[in-house]
Structure 1
Amino acid sequence: MKIKSLMTLGLMAASMAVATNDADACSRIVYQGNDSLYIVGRSLDWKTPIPTNLYVYPRGMAKMGNNTPDAVRWTSKYGAIYAVGYDGGVTEGMNEKGLVVNGLFCKGTIYVNDSTMNRPPMSLAMFVAWMLDMNATTPEVVEVLRKHDFNISGATFDGGTVSTLHWGITDAEGRTAVVEFDHGNIKIYEGHDLIALTNDPTFPQMQAINDYWMKVGGANMLPGTVKSPDRFVRGYYFDTHVDKTGDAALGFSIIRSILMNVSVPYLYEVETEPNVSSTQWRSFANLRDKLYYFDIVTNMGAYYVDLKKCNFEKGAPVMKLDTSVNTSAVGEANSLLRPSAPFTPMY
């Protein structure tokens, strides 16, 4: 009787997941260890290659939200490392204060409405950089975003896919926010318990699905597909049931293993669903020790940049780690950074 009940519950939850019409595959998990150890792990998945390089930017650089005269403008308060896709847009990053911002695909996103159209434009290519450049903590980012004195602009990529995203933000004290755009209105969810983020549906709906599965009990049954709700549930369950440690190396191993569990096998794809495809890389941001790990699935191992050893002084050169020529790197990779021109935002 118990087995039959569990099967029924599983089928009901599967129906809920299918109803979300999910076709996206990125995952973000926050490991909350001991001794103020917080490590944010994320995966990036897509059908076609998204070449991604690492850039280290110093403080004091003047930047623009896009290349129009009325764009948002700022001068960076903090240095940061960015993961830059196509050498044209910041996917995610961490700044010198231990603030991390990750952008993940979310099909239901609508950035603009009639009331936002005349606000200063902010390109998606620079949105993450702006948050990292100007804020030290999650509450600071949230305060700025709630003002919403900008208008998100973007473009298509990979043959016409619309760049619809939502974001996870975590600071060195473990405070997390999830940011979504609903028909031009910013929706922000805050709390230390927001440890998982994937893709569709929107975050409140995802939490409802996860609550359902937690009542089923992960030791009894966990959803196993690559769909967004299933990855959310698995990531959340394992993240809340692994040991806690204050050891950075052990914490990295724990969160890395969780991200592997929610990753998509290499060269796997679903026809007509380009977003449910291979995990291309994973990143891990140790917010306490200011270490940013990068793990490309076709490489032999992971490497990291120690932000404490980076030169973030005003006037310091922009530095770049070209991931395409450092395929055998393992361990600390600061020595692989080379002076570089700033990347050119794609829009």
Structure 2
Amino acid sequence: MDWPESTEPLIVAFPRGRERDGGAAAGATVVEKNPLRWTSRYGSLVTTVYGIGGIDGINERGLAVHGLYLQSTDLGPRDASKPGLHAGLWAQYLLDQAATVAEALNLMDDIQLVMISARGRDATIHLALEDATGDSAIIEFDHGRQVVHHGREYTLMTNDPAYSDQLKLLSQQDFSHPSRDMPLPGNVNARDRFQRAAYYLALLPELDNVRQAVAGVMAIMRNVSVPFGAPYGEFGIYNTEYRTVTDLTRRTYFFELTTSPNTIWIELDRLDLTEGADTLAIDPYDESLIGDVTSRFTPHRAGF
């Protein structure tokens, strides 16, 4: 998560059976006509943004969703014949209702995303999805048209430009056979970070050791993060606030705050996600958190 200020994240566990309104956020009405309403089928664990929705997380079936900024996002004009879902709840809706990437993509056919703003900035995002079978997809919007890249090969995403243009970067250099002599782009912009991530991902071996696998993925993200504290905002690039890694098989969620030396993790299966259970949360800015923090969750009243 790269952003010009803290997104005030909370890590929240939602039980099944929660009723949601895809047209309301933080006491305001975002979608006035025909808002999407649903009752969650699956429990989930998400990292929130400004208390208006989840931007990153996993559900109890092993589907994970991650939202990142994409300046070129264009949701198009509102078509009130379709139920409207504000963009701040996009990730949460898919986690609530889908068990796989394929199911999540099918859910998008009958709804329309509607833009929402927070702190003066539009939620121009795209989503990366993956599930426990290894399937994955990238979803973007271009002039109101949904653009989907669906397949196990789509394992990287940064920010701008659009994903089709990002993929062209991989055709310019063969990162599938990395070597110590291969030159790498080293800037902090999303293009360079995309290419560096492709290079280092190609170096990772197949592992059945969870600890080493998580360490490998986290090492790549640290390498392509924007160094904290540098004044990059003047050219539209922002400091990295936090990093997450998701173990889809064991439904474990790892979280690393940039300003903290502690990596924390949560085992989803140890949380009570049954219908009627409390919504639970922890504040990742709590400096006492370290390691397995599943038992540190406390009841929380979420506004969405």
TM-score (normalised: structure 1): 0.81
* Deviation sequence 1:38-66 (CA, Å, 0-9, x none): xxxxxx11222221001100011111112
Matched residue, 2:111: 150
Query: Could you tell me whether the CA contact under 8 Å between 1:98 and 1:288 is conserved in 2?
Result: yes
Task: Write the mapping of 1:54-133 to structure 2, written as runs, cut at 5 A.
Answer: 54-67=11-24, 68=32, 70-113=34-77, 116-133=79-96
Inter-CA distance 231–215: structure 2 relative to 1 (3 Å threshold): closer
| 8 Å Cα contact 1:213-1:222 kept in structure 2 | no
Matches within 5 A, 1:236-315: 236-274=198-236, 276-315=237-276
Unaligned runs of 5+ in 1: 1-43
Deviating 4+ runs (over 3 angstroms): 215-218
Following the alignment from structure 2 to structure 1, what is the Cα–Cα distance between the partners of residues 231 and 122?
Answer: 19
| Conserved 8 A contact 2:59-2:95 | yes
Question: Does the 8 A contact of 1:66 with 1:123 survive in 2?
Answer: yes
Whether contact under 8 Å (1:58, 1:78) holds in the other structure is yes
Partner of residue 169 from structure 1, selected from 111, 129, 132: 129
Alignment of 1:50 onto 2:7 = yes
Instruction: Please give the per-residue CA displacement for 1:3-47, whole angstroms capped at 9, x wherever unaligned.
Output: xxxxxxxxxxxxxxxxxxxxxxxxxxxxxxxxxxxxxxxxx1122
Instruction: Note the C-alpha offset of 1:254.
Output: 0.6
Change in 2 beyond 3 A, CA 1:254/1:215: closer
CA distance in 1, matches of 2:233, 2:282: 33
* Letter paired with 2:66: N
* d(CA) in 2 for partners of 1:327, 1:175: 35
Does 1 or 2 have the higher relative contact order (CA < 8 Å, sep 6+)?
Answer: 1
Instruction: State the alpha-carbon separation in 2 of the partners of residues 83 and 125 from structure 1.
Output: 12
> In 2 relative to 1, CA 66–262 (structure 1 residues): closer, same or farther, beyond 3 Å?
same
Alignment-mate amino acid for residue 147 of structure 2: K
What amino acid does structure 1 have at the position aligned with 2:134? G
Distance 1:216 1:337, change over 3 A: closer
How far did residue 144 of structure 1 move?
1.8
Query: Residue by residue, what CA displacement relative to the aligned partner does 1:253-311 show, whole Å, maximum 9, x if unpaired?
Result: 1111011110111101325234x121110011110111001100111211011001011
Q: Deviations over 1:69-93 (max 9, x none)?
A: 6211111110000110112221111
Alignment of 1:185-204 (within 5 A): 185-204=145-164
Letter in 2 for 1:136: A
Give the letter for the 1:49 counterpart.
Answer: S
| Equivalenced residues, count | 295
Change (3 A) 1:216 1:177: closer
Q: CA RMSD in A?
A: 1.7
Structure 2 distance, partners of 1:150, 1:140, is 14
8 Å Cα contact 1:66/1:126 also seen in 2: no
Q: Which amino acid letter does the alignment assign opposite residue 114 of structure 2?
A: S
Letter in 1 for 2:19: A
Structure having the higher Rg: 1
Structure 2 residue ranges without an equivalent (≥5): 25-31
Distance 2:255 2:123 in 1: 23
Conserved? CA contact 1:300–1:327, under 8 Å: no
Match of 2:28 in 1: none
Query: Match of 1:27?
Result: none
1:179 is the counterpart of 2:139: yes
Corresponding residue for 2:98? 135
Shift of 1:161: 2.3
Q: 1:139 is matched by which residue type in structure 2?
A: A
Alpha-carbon distance in 2 for matches of 1:229, 1:191: 21
- How far the C-alpha of 1:218 sits from its partner, in A, is 4.4
Partner AA of 2:100 in structure 1:
T
TM-score normalised over the length of structure 2: 0.92
Q: 1:63 to 1:213 in 2, by over 3 A?
A: same
What's the secondary structure of 2:203's corresponding residue?
A: coil
